[in-house]
Amino acid sequence: MDEALRKKLGINENKPNDWFETLYANSNEGGEGVPWANMAPHPLFENWLAQHPVNVKDKTALVVGCGMGDDAIELESRGFAVTAFDVSESAIDICKKRFPKSTVQFVQADLIAGNKDWWNKFDFVLEIFTIQALPPKYEQTLIQNISDFVADQGQLLVITEIQTNKRTYENGPPWLLNPNYIASFENCGLQLVSSNSYKETEVGEAIHLSIFQKT
């Protein structure tokens, strides 16, 4: 992405969250103008759920950067008590309008700031493309904060696009992760359970679906 387009979107490395509110404030319940709005659960996540049925009685789940809310609704349908957050208040408003009968707790929150009330709280944490939507200098903070959300014996599922080139602000968004993100999560107290690589994307060399567990 060139500098002109970053300026058009209002992306500022030192105010990394502002452009999300601008994007969602100009969107609607159909996801107009939001490039990552599938209006359905992410297909890799949905396939993983189909292959890994789990006993979710009394289990909690957290969706990081929930966007339009579809992944959170999918987890709710599987029996989880779900909290889903996004930094954009407008995104949260859209989720509530789209799913007025849902029991999902859609809340506005900032992943960069973290949330101590959520430390070690969730049995299942889902992160899809959120880290790569923020400038590289925040990577370690984001990974640490996501790791902190996972309860003892809980799982984290990460879906992210991968590149081998160096992550730089000038090359995004998206700021695709390098394969060493796995070691970063392990350094935050998580153990890698599995990691699968899928086809090349328009912007990345592959998509990873990785499962971590906090022991």
Which residues make Cβ contacts (< 8 Å) with residue 98, sequence separation at least 6?
29, 68, 69
CA distance 125 to 139: 17
What amino acid is encoded at 44 in this protein? L
Between residues 6 and 118, the one the model is more confident about: 118
- Report percent pLDDT > 90 for the chain: 77
82 — pLDDT class (breaks 50, 70, 90) = very high
Report CA Rg, the chain: 16
The mean predicted confidence, pLDDT, of the chain is 92
Look at 212 and 172; give whichever has higher pLDDT.
212
Q: What pLDDT does residue 130 have?
A: 97
Q: What is the pLDDT of residue 5?
A: 64
Q: What is the pLDDT of residue 38?
A: 82
Mean pLDDT calculated for residue range 126-139: 97
Please state, as a whole number, how many other Cβ atoms lie within 10 Å of the Cβ of residue 88: 24
Mean pLDDT, residues 114-133: 97
pTM of the complete model? 0.94
Dihedrals phi, psi of 31, to nearest 5 degrees: 75, 20
User: What digits encode the pLDDT tens for the residues 142-192?
Assistant: 999 999 999 999 999 999 999 999 999 998 889 999 999 999 999 999 999
CA distances from 88 to 76, 136, 189, 199 (A): 21, 20, 29, 30
CA distance 108 to 90: 9
Residue 65 to residue 109: CA distance in whole angstroms: 9
* pLDDT at res. 58: 87
Q: 213 near 154, Cβ under 8 Å?
A: yes
Contacts of 43 by beta carbon, 8 Å cutoff, 6+ apart: none
Spatial CB neighbours of 44, under 8 Å, sequence gap ≥ 6 = 159, 198, 207, 209
pLDDT digits (tens, 9 = 90+) for 16-43: 999 899 889 888 887 787 777 788 999 9
More confident position, 38 or 97: 97
pLDDT at 80: 95
pLDDT band at 2 (very low <50, low <70, confident <90, very high): low
Which residue has better confidence, 6 or 194? 194
CATH for 3-214 is 3.40.50.150
**Pairwise CA distance, residues 138 & 184, whole Å:** 13
